[in-house]
Amino acid sequence: MRSFPLLSEPLTDGEVVLRDYAERDIPEILIAHQDDPRLHLLIGEDRPPSGAELGRAAEREALERMAGERATLTVVEPGSDRCRGQIRVHPVDWDQSRAEIGIWLTPQVRGRGLAPRALKLAGEWLLGACGLARVELFVEPGNAPMLRTAQAARFVPEGTLREYLRKRGKGVDVVIMSLIPSDLR
Summarised one tens digit per residue, pLDDT across range 87-133 is 999 999 999 999 999 999 999 999 999 999 999 999 999 999 999 99
CATH of the domain at 171: 3.40.630.30
Per-residue pLDDT reduced to its tens digit, 135-169: 999 999 999 999 999 999 999 999 999 999 988 78
Q: What is the DSSP string of the chain?
A: --S-PPPSS-EE-SS-EEEE--GGGHHHHHHHHHH-TTHHHHTT-SSPPPHHHHHHHHHHHHHHHHTTS-EEEEEE-TT-----EEEEEEEEETTTTEEEEEEEE-GGGTTSSHHHHHHHHHHHHHHTTT--SEEEEEE-TT-HHHHHHHHHTT-EEEEEEEEEEEETTEEEEEEEEEE-GGGG-
Structural domain includes residue 1 = no
pLDDT of residue 46: 87
Higher pLDDT, 3 or 30: 30
Structural domain includes residue 3 = no
Average pLDDT of 33-62? 93
Structural domain includes residue 144 = yes
Structural domain includes residue 156 = yes
